[in-house]
Structure 1
């Protein structure tokens, strides 16, 4: 028979109420008593039934996901997956609310965080923008004990509890390896387009890309990063301008979104159709570009896995249970025309 809290109380020589306080991390228990209860738990192999405890106490979880607004297809997929993950988690007394903010706008993101009803919010998951205002807003959430998970783009210097997303430095290194190997010994320039260098995922991808090009493909020259604001029209404009200005551009790495703008420019530019192109996220437009030979590879990440992982991690942080790192690892996926799902 599985040990119960009564067994733990008897083993530790304390009351049931004391065991309950220790399990729920409530104040009023001496350190020596906490150590005695924890030792009894370890000896007995006691495993707390979190679901039963939450049901008995009518505990529920309310998580807020803060995601950039706008036409970025991946972010819209992330938003839809957050809603779906919340629907599936409703049986575990989880409620998910999605709030959108303008992309790359630290002031707007901080205002949303500061406007949260902290008495009703259990945890927050957000795609963070690196700014002083966001840093201060997250510090306030940390101070009152609300767990925070960052999605897609990490901000390790901020007060957050966990990051859910791919290793973006490794993603950039992967993109450089693909382009370098596709081009072989051919010398030339590589155009780089990011959404914004205010978000860490784009900065890290650029850094990883540059590391590999410099060390393994010195015959290739990386041009300065252009910012397309993850907007198709802006991305298309900055790419068209780059191709008009620069000679010997033979490769393109689209670090962020705006793939539709890239596709439009390359489709209408005969010279552009010969570029070796690596982009991010397997959207419908990127999938077609792979099939049509405009893109050579797409680096993807599973938005559904990320939202489900964020919910599991927030619950674990609240319940005081371990995070299963292997389950929450988000893999870098590489798609070519030949292995499209």
Structure 2
């Protein structure tokens, strides 16, 4: 299954099967742990991910169209830009698709989340760097980066298909997904070229996105939308945090710096960030501006997972790596027990 394919190659999958899949995933994208404007913006963002799947499966969007029309969401914030761009690949965008207008006010990020952001920055500063050592990176390709990242992923799996996604450049956020295929379903990575430095791309694809693909390989539950997505991002971010400790310990100094950069980016792009964590200044993400719950989970989720008792390979690597970083362990001790609980799932958003 781990092979390069052409974007849009849906095999022998029928249009009816794509319709059913798109409709069901469009509904799933609406089941978010939020309400009001946040729920609307979150649903629209999820629809953009479904639209990417529709494009990969041959640009049959009618199943998603029905869900969008029934929901009646008029304004979806920045996520609507991606949704409309992807939908345009299948022809004129229907008039009932949401625009990028302001969906309304959302609740601010909580005080405890901001406190944890500060502790995350302290944790990054407390990670000790080992003696610089050489490294072997392999090929700078989607497959090569995923293979390279296996050394930092606790349970690497190669049960995925890679499709070229150059046609979707500028329209993609989440590149991993589970799509229908003639034999049932398959895990897919849409490989979109990026201009960031090579090691930054390796962190993003080989470690973070790879962790998502690993989860898809072993889990049958919801991981792509709503509360399931929060759990998925918590896991992938936890893998990044452990990778930071391991890379620093092993003398992979440049890699550790990019991992640290990524963790601080999650703080700086938080809605309402005003520079209170100096190391996180200079980052922003307009699409997360109406998604405080999701944005917060990139910081709170991994520590909730890592600080909980566990016997998984992830927990074993976390404990082993933390044992060699006493200052970082002191920060973790202050974090443990104070991480906000994840939100509970709520019904789908009402029509707006």
**Same fold by TM-score greater than 0.5:** no
Q: Which has the higher helix share?
A: 2
The structure that is strand-richer by fraction is 1
TM-score, with normalisation over the residues of structure 1? 0.30
Relative contact order higher in (CA < 8 Å, ≥ 6 apart): 2
> TM-score normalized by structure 2?
0.30
